[in-house]
Structure 1
């Protein structure tokens, strides 16, 4: 049933911004601020409305309630072109349905086959006897694109060796009837868990979670999440790639002695320790094994030794960071003229 003032619809819309300054809003609409949509796909607009107390007695939820969508364009007072959907009409400019229960103040709407020309701000209006209202202070900005936005990868907690970690990939699902498929590319075996979830603004997104236990070999390896959107008979894709930053204790720790051959007393010998770690090694320590005893002899990445009697023996280094330590193999320093008694 049409409103008595329906013939003044456009004039009322044009003046509503002015009239709102002199009174309370006749209706309060809840809409997302923005929806990013793919050309040729559908878009679901989460929508709900509330009738303030001063007008609630006018609202009768038991009779037919019509929902009207129109563009918020500077020219909307110049003609009917800005009205793109009216649920009381059988033919509309936009193909769609109000899927929400209007009697329960749910005006959620789906539009199909959107095009780039559909990009605009949209407002919602209800029409029922004896009450009609438009919330001119709330609109949804629909942005239609040819390519989907990139998914978002997040990591739950620190990525540390031998500790299970979860990777999350999320992608918007503006058309919940045809949500995107999320595909992972990882340097390890995995089993994803996927779900369609509702966001705080009632829009939808797809979340894919992968849980795995990284090793130090995964450090600085790329991971990729690809979102595949079905649009008609084709797929449109977008991806997000990030590099893993795995925290691990020192690995591949090794010691070297130069020169390597037997040396004379009084000569100079350089001992160098190397290791791979994340975060970097904070402390290198040198040990000597001689005559069955192990003695700490120096600290630092490099150790320069002026050889004296008794310096012959086995040497090794330890590298340490906040995650633990790594120990090198033992290297022999032979001093000419010394008896080799290391153990």
Structure 2
């Protein structure tokens, strides 16, 4: 029995050497886990409390040192603030004020482990909290930022989005950038989390439009690492609820056929949620009538189907009306046959009258003559003008009646005095160039009549 008591005493002494007095001699407050990016720093927020029974010893100590143990082994000390030449880290908190916050520089993946904190006052007071530890995980790439969870967003309602990125090294926090479907100015700030770790918060606010539906939003965290950067991003998709947009009506075929042909009127619209009801209306004679309640309205054209048509698209967000399209009025085919036959008959009659007039006005082949008798002589008919459009020459003959008059008598003298001033008369003879032998007797007769008149 005594031997067992000795063994227990030896174990207790060993425990006191490794971890100070006991777990009840020191109470630390620190996060349970922390993630750090390799080749950067990591800051461990830390605070501690001393039990009342040992508080006097701690307060009277001149020098207080902080020690971080890697695991529960005294020999595996990662950091000791009493070593002024230690470049692995630095206690930034005031140990006298029971603040043990520590920064480790240029951490690598080998730092990944569980760490415990110890207080040492050069023998006056020494304690380790073996009940509380922090697990540090060093990763090559930064962890993904956290973005606000997005649900259904209503068009026109202002939307604020938040993005969080951990800042394990507050001295070099990450920068947050947004990729948005619209312009917006983000607001960034470094904030402290409930476990006293740091993070960067970025907020953007904008008014979503139906054009933003199904568009991606990305938040990117840029971590400075030495002379370069390491990035991580998070992407979400917007789901915007909006009433029907771009509602339009169309007719197929564009030019409907005759009465009895099939015509499709189709209504198209974009909406979220999708359109639940399509309605067709017809405007005729200033009156609007609902004609169908479906997306595609099919009708066999009748005489009275002509008019203006439009459709309405509706969902639980609202309704939109399309532009009007025109369906031309149709005629009965029998009417078209009657109208067409009448037009053909009228056209045929016009053609017959036209050719009859042309035939009657046609000039026969022959000689055209024109005689200009004296004022007192009766007018004579002009000879017929040949049909051929050959160049014509006009020949004038001068007839001197004084050479052919008889010897002077008293009666002749009186006639001479009456015809005084009429020394000569002219006759215009129009002879067609290249006259034929059939025209020769006519010409001779004409000259004979002229000579006869001159003899008178």
Question: Structure 2 length as normaliser, TM-score?
Answer: 0.64
- 1:149 match: secondary structure: coil
- Total equivalences in the alignment: 320
Segment drifting more, 147-156 vs 171-180: 147-156
Q: What residue is the counterpart of 2:266 in the other structure?
A: 272
Unaligned runs of 5+ in 1: 1-7, 339-343
CA deviation digits over 1:208-248, x for unaligned, max 9?
Answer: 11112222222222232221111222211222233322222
Q: What residue is the counterpart of 1:153 in the other structure?
A: 147
More strand by share: 1
Separation (CA, whole Å) in 1 of partners of 2:272 and 2:144: 29
Cα 1:117–1:313 shift into 2, 3 Å: same
Separation (CA, whole Å) in 1 of partners of 2:113 and 2:38: 14
More helix by share: 2
Q: Which has the greater radius of gyration?
A: 2
Tell me if the contact between 1:46 and 1:109 (Cα under 8 Å) persists in the aligned partners: yes
**Per-residue deviation, 1:190:** 1.7
Q: What residue is the counterpart of 1:229 in the other structure?
A: 223
Q: Does 1:216 align with 2:216?
A: no
Q: Which stretches of structure 1, 4 residues or longer, exceed 4 Å deviation after superposition? A: 13-16, 52-59, 155-158, 263-267, 306-309
Show the 5 A alignment for 1:98-113.
98-113=91-106
CA deviation digits over 1:89-112, x for unaligned, max 9?
Answer: 2244x6212112223322111111
Segment drifting more, 257-266 vs 212-221: 257-266
CA deviation digits over 1:274-305, x for unaligned, max 9?
Answer: 11111211222222212212222222222333
Greater relative contact order, per chain length (Cα 8 Å cut-off, separation 6+): 1
CA deviation digits over 1:78-137, x for unaligned, max 9?
Answer: x61x21112222244x62121122233221111111111011111112223643322222
Unaligned runs of 5+ in 2: 1-11, 333-456
Tell me if the contact between 2:153 and 2:239 (Cα under 8 Å) persists in the aligned partners: yes
Cα 1:313–1:166 shift into 2, 3 Å: same
Question: Structure 1 length as normaliser, TM-score?
Answer: 0.83
- 2:148 match: secondary structure: strand
Q: What residue is the counterpart of 1:140 in the other structure?
A: 134
Q: What residue is the counterpart of 1:179 in the other structure?
A: 173
Tell me if the contact between 2:143 and 2:232 (Cα under 8 Å) persists in the aligned partners: yes
Separation (CA, whole Å) in 2 of partners of 1:186 and 1:237: 18
Tell me if the contact between 1:228 and 1:236 (Cα under 8 Å) persists in the aligned partners: yes
